[in-house]
Amino acid sequence: MADGGASTFILLITALLVSGSVSAVLINQWGDMSSALEENSKGKEADSKTSVSFAGDAMEVDYDDSVSPNVMTFYLQNTGQYVLDEDTLVVMVDGVSVSSSIIATILPGGASWTEIRLLEVEVSSSSWAYQNDDSVSISAVVSSEVTSGYRGTDTMNIEVRLDV
């Protein structure tokens, strides 16, 4: 009886050790998974609250060919909930990046591109030779300011007609 009790006790201790180890591993794994899910959720939330849209008249985008290099001016509106970071703005015209020549002005005047405000975007390129009424494709990618440790990102694509 004493032998049987000892072996049962050993088995119990072994079972406890094994289940404790498995639980520790499971808890650790779940913690990692939970962190990943949380990060993913916050990233998606930041994306869903980051939005940029073209504003103005797509049929009349100003194009100044009297200066060199030629300058194109259009407007973007912050239509999301997060403050956008104009310094992260990437612009492509007909698929070619012109981000190195962006002059961005927040309207009405302000320090940050908050919800509803416009951003006047002037881009230029010495390789352009567009004419009046030419159609061009404008793409813009912008990120939000860091909010709760995350940046959201949004993209805008539009076909516009130039007004020289």
Partner 1 sequence: MGASVGIGGLIIGTTMLVVFSMVVASIDAKVDTSLQTIDSATEALPVFTIDDATLWEGAVVDVQIGSGGSGYVNGTLVSSTGNGGFAGTFTVNVATGAITAVAITSHGNYSSAPTIVVQGQTPTSSASFVVSIGNFIHSNVTNTGSYITPLREAWLFSDGANPTNLGTVFRTGTNNPHWYSGETLHIQWDESGTLPVERFALSVRGVNMASSLA
Residue 116 Cβ, how far from partner 1 at the closest point, in Å?
A: 5
Q: Is 53 in the site for partner 1 (CB under 8 A)?
A: yes
- For partner 1, give the closer residue by CB, 74 or 128: 74
Residues 108-137 that bind partner 1 (CB under 8 A): 108, 116, 118, 120
Strand partners, 85: 143
Residue 146 is classified by DSSP as P
Cis upstream peptide for 69 (omega within 30°): yes
Residue 99 Cβ, how far from partner 1 at the closest point, in Å?
A: 22
User: For residue 17, what are the CA distances in angstroms to 4, 13, 84, 109?
Assistant: 20, 6, 53, 66
Q: Is 58 in the site for partner 1 (CB under 8 A)?
A: yes
Separation CA 16–CA 71 (nearest Å)? 74
Q: Is 69 in the site for partner 1 (CB under 8 A)?
A: no
Candidate ranges 44-52, 87-95, 96-104, 129-137; the one touching partner 1 (CB under 8 A): 44-52
CB atoms within 10 A of CB 162: 21
Candidate ranges 40-48, 89-97, 122-130, 137-145; the one touching partner 1 (CB under 8 A): 40-48
DSSP track, 23-87: HHHHHHHHHHHHHHHHHHHHHHHHHHT--EEEES-TT-EEEE-SSSSEEEEEEEEE-SSSPEEEE
Q: Is 51 in the site for partner 1 (CB under 8 A)?
A: yes
Contacting residue, 7, 10, 32, 41, with partner 1 by CB under 8 A: 41
Q: Residue numbers of the site for partner 1 (CB under 8 A)?
A: 5, 8-9, 12, 15-16, 19-20, 23, 26-27, 30-31, 33-34, 37-38, 41-42, 44-45, 48-49, 51, 53-62, 73-75, 77, 79, 81, 107-108, 116, 118, 120, 163
